Structure 1
């Protein structure tokens, strides 16, 4: 077992994973061009065992109410996995597997597995959550920070985001969905969208690269309020979903999710 960074290569694509820093994809380079914002809090990190914010850090499971640390007051945000040290279970040239055991203050025991698989023109990330005991509600997803502008490519313009969601979750003043579904509003966004046929978002850096972010999951958060980067976050439910749309991890049925990013040169 090791927590050293793992680098995968396929053709001119190279991905680096940092299991000691939340098992985030710290770098994704295509022909030497970095697609992800650099820095220990950026790259692309897994959101486990929940995605986005939990209202006041509290969620209910049956008759019990659990309080999570308020790491984004007044809410809890993005789970614990991004701050944890994961273990490298297996690493090859183009695929690696990492694990993380759920621990306090999460009230349930279980294991999270992330598989990172690279080809010459795609990256697939897969998350699985299994329980060691009781069933529990959970979410899984990814929070990539894509560079708004690609360095070293003179004719690359700022990234353009294209997608056709069925609805937008109305966002309250507390940044959480109100429960109402509304028509799509113009950006900039820090919003959750519903895509019942699966997440399908295209990022285009004009004159340079087109990337398609897909997932069979039906929820995506798009965040483009920062100058340096934009985020396209496939996930298994909306923010505060542990309370409003929980997915159950059971002894016979783990929670599994995947996303594939595929690209082509322009």
Structure 2
């Protein structure tokens, strides 16, 4: 099911020079993908061997870049495993132009920014989201606090205290965290949340990674069915689609015009660039049982997103089993949830 509002640009960034923060991380390298400077004091830079991860806590707790520097004789080149942010994106505090950002306290859209819960209408219109159908929760649009950090890991924290005077505010008190770390060249992210409200709270979480997209990019994943969507990118029905079989075999990012949720995901997906002899495999813990693939036609964007719930799950019909199929979840007072995501690069 369609999940995302996206930047409208369809042109790749202009090739320029990236200056690395410290010689102990990496010396300067020519990077044709971004002008990001990792000496920006608002960023947290993690390193492990030749791998660097750049985190932007103030931009929705986002990841700004994840890359390797490959040394070749007297030169070196940068291999991005996620699409990197630019200085302009950081200056604009735009999570949609980061490499990836967290999704709390729900993923994807909510129809008309409202739903019924526990006998009352939850109206999220006017919370600053800017979309007719509330999108991705709110934590991605707020700064996160930096906690414990090491050379290769950082903990980020976010707490939402509802404001009854603020129109459209999420009316539940909760705490969320991310532990982001490099384990060798692999990226590991643990997402966690706890309901601090006196009553129950509907809930979902995920991460929103963008990948480099070329004419040869291939996505491989095992899924069972696809949520078909209407013109508002909201679910209509769950059923077969050519992309289901194509993903099993290895689907070109250009094969379909996609912005859809997939069910029956086995929690592993590989994004490969065969002409570059490299790939990255994303794996997830339960309950990240749903996958979003955003691969629009004639565009440079590509997202393959692990999520706990499908689009508009809070409005799913309880009687016909749609809630169960959509990942609808409720946290009890004080209940906590935690699950991990991993990205493992491979160079042939």
Fold shared, TM-score > 0.5 on shorter chain: yes
Residue 215 of structure 1 corresponds to 284
Correspondence for 1:254 among 314, 326, 336? 336
Cα deviation, 1:156-200, whole Å, max 9, x if unaligned, reads x6321112211111212321112x22113342210000135x321
Which structure has the larger Rg over C-alpha atoms? 2
In the other structure, the counterpart of 2:309 is 237
Report 1:135-214 matches (<5 A). Answer: 135-149=200-214, 158-178=216-236, 180-186=237-243, 187-196=256-265, 198-206=266-274, 207-214=276-283
* Structure 2, unaligned runs of 5 or more: 1-40, 70-77, 163-168, 244-255, 317-322
Structure 1: runs of 5+ lacking an equivalent: 150-156
RMSD: 1.8
Q: Which residue of 2 aligns with 1:129?
A: 193
Q: Distance in 2 between matches of 1:80 and 1:7?
A: 24
Partner SS state of residue 67, structure 2: strand
Higher helix share: 2
Residue 54 of structure 1 deviates from its aligned partner by: 0.4
Question: Which residues of 2 match residues 101-140 of structure 1 at below 5 A?
Answer: 101-104=159-162, 105-133=169-197, 134-140=199-205
Taking the aligned partners of 1:81 and 1:69, their CA distance within structure 2 comes to 16
Question: Does 1:224 find its partner at 2:289?
Answer: no
How many residues were matched structurally?
255
Q: Tell me the TM-score normalised to structure 1 length.
A: 0.89
Select the structure that is richer in strand: 1
2 CA distance for matches of 1:210 and 1:236? 24
Q: CA deviation at 1:89?
A: 1.1
Structure 1 ranges of 4+ moved more than 4 A: none
- Work out whether 1:33 is the aligned partner of 2:79: yes
CA drift at 1:252: 4.3
- In structure 2, relative to structure 1, the CA distance for the partners of 1:174 and 1:227 (3 Å cut) is closer
Q: TM-score, normalised by structure 2?
A: 0.69
Match in the other structure for 2:150:
92
Q: In the alignment, what sits opposite 2:247?
A: none
Tell me the CA shift for residue 229 of structure 1.
Answer: 2.5
Q: Residues 23 and 73 of structure 1: is their aligned pair in 2 closer, same or farther, counting only changes over 3 Å?
A: closer
> Residues 139 and 241 of structure 1 are in contact (CA less than 8 Å); yes or no, is this contact kept in structure 2?
no
Q: Secondary structure at the match of 1:20?
A: coil
What's the offset of the Cα at 1:202?
A: 0.8
**Deviation at residue 147 of structure 1 after TM alignment:** 1.4
Please tell me whether the aligned partners of residues 248 and 255 of structure 1 are also in contact (alpha carbons under 8 angstroms). Answer: no
CA contact (8 A) 1:26 1:44 kept: yes
2:225 and 2:172 mapped to 1: Cα distance? 33
Tell me the SS of whatever aligns to 2:302. Answer: strand
- What per-residue deviation string (whole Å, max 9, x for no partner) do you get for residues 49-94 of structure 1? 1111001001222101111136354201111111101101111111
| Residue in structure 1 matched with residue 56 of structure 2 by the alignment | 18
The secondary structure found in structure 1 opposite 2:226 is strand
Partner of 1:146: helix, strand, or coil? coil
SS for the counterpart of 1:242 is helix
